[in-house]
Structure 1
Amino acid sequence: MDRYGENLTKMAYNYVKDWKLAEDIVQDVFVVCCHHYDKLDEILDFKPWIYRLTINKSKDVLKSASYRKTVIQSSLLTIFKSNDPPPDMLLNKRSEEETLSKSVLKLPVKYREVIILYYYEELSIAKIGDILTLNSNTVKTRLKTQGIKLPENIPGFVEQQDFEEIDWDREAVNFDRGIIGNENKSGVIGIDIPSLTPQKWMWHLWGNKTSDLTVVEVHEGSQTAYPILDNGWKWTMQLGSAVNGADAHVPCAITIPKPGEWAFLLYDGDELFDVLVYEIEE
């Protein structure tokens, strides 16, 4: 257990943000290991198993009433990459390290845990998926989307978790009358025309429930969200009548800020409706 004790304590701290509580959690994990000592050889991959056990116990603590009553002090995440003492003894660390630590600790747990396992524990995507019982694509998406920069004026119904719906490998296709998108859901006429300068696109939706279309565009490389409608001046526009076989449409002027892989999150009213992914080079 000496091999895993320190890293498991750091992992538990990632969840509960309290060093003493993290140590208690790891002690409980070791007790479970002792109770199953005669069966440890039957565990095919011990490391993912013991990490999963630690994570589950940490999450149980987060759900407990006693934990919710505890006032947790702000701490530093730098312990995950060093052998330094507990957080309260790290106050003299460099300011940039402190800023990074606090930023990571402010992330929701589901993003924080994949960051720690991938960047600090240096586990593979597959191993992280085993530990967290997630598929590899979800792990990759959480690693990408945890840092999405959202403008202050973005509609309130747009949430960080919406960006997990982005499948960057699923590019839109040309399915009918020059409409490029996801068939029988949404698509655009004009995406195949150079769009780094002002251009007109026509959005098409199938099965929408409201007349309000909100579009948020995200650049894969910079992980930054932008408005796109009306050349970036609007988040939302009113949909018009049926056309080209679609249930609703709306034309608008657009300008793509820079080349690269772009995802467009379409909202029908305040509900995420579809995600379109385009490669835009000119």
Structure 2
Amino acid sequence: MTSKNDRNEAAAPKPDWYAGLRHSPFAGSFGENNRRHVIGRLHGRGSEGVNGFRRIKRYAAAGAAAVLLLVAVADPAGWREGPNAGIGNGNERETRNLYTAKNVKLVEAFPGGDYTAGNPAGCWWNVYEPFESLQDRTIRIEAVHRGTGYTMEELAETKLSEAGQAYGGFTRIPTRFALPLPGVWTFTVFLDGERYGDVAFDVPDHPWQVSPTFRGGAYELRGVQGRLGFIDAGFRAGRANKYMWHFWGRPDELRGELTIRAVRQGTSRIEELFAAPDTGSALNGADAAVPAMLTLPEPGLWRLMAFVGGRLYGSVVVEAEPSAGTDR
């Protein structure tokens, strides 16, 4: 349902830069190297790369298309309504991409592509203050899943001089929109540790289909070609096995602790499966590779999610077969 605020935003005149959000900033002559440079620039400080941008079909507040990168957390105490969020209407799934105070725009977010759980999509964050007045300050973006309280950082605290860029009369920050669970996520922006504003998005689930295979050197890998995959030895519920994970990306994208987590179709419980201090070294044509001993506790479809440096790097869907002598 479209709220009054949504209708007002949709009817308001759009600035000149708005039309450009309908197209991926990584298309055409921008080039893959430059795309990965922008993505990798923030990874070591809390943002991560993306697989690519697709045309957006949903735009939570204005009903218009928009693109770029996103992922993250809000107040652990729970959802806090902003001044334009329809306070007291009891709608727990209300979302918005714009935060205002006294009818002044403060923060606006534009996630890219047909964003879904488990897949990086990216987001532009517009902070409506001149870059010159913000460059000596720090920014941090947190996110919380309203249904479970699961929290994570969209952007670790970093200087705006390193994370942001001047754009007209405001400041633009790219991050990754990579969230492990479907549902409503609330994102809170902090400047110099002080809460500045919040937005919320309803993230749909990704189709639960076993990920395809592709060639990696002499081996067949299951996953996302050019991003991540592993040599699939098959999965049986409750039985441990070793899987060689492979990753492609810039060195700064792949820097940090590796954690493999998993969620089973139809649930929102995230299982911790494996952790390593890093993503390993080059192997089979991949930029990094590391063996991981994994056990899925129940049969069914599982989304295996690789986190690097605390950020979701990508996911692979597999099916765990029942253990011998048990039913599915």
TM-score by length of 2: 0.39
Q: Taking CA–CA contacts closer than 8 Å with sequence separation of 6 or more, which of the two structures ends up with the larger relative contact order?
A: 2
Higher helix share: 1
Structure having the larger proportion of residues in strand: 2
Report the TM-score, using the length of structure 1 for normalisation: 0.45
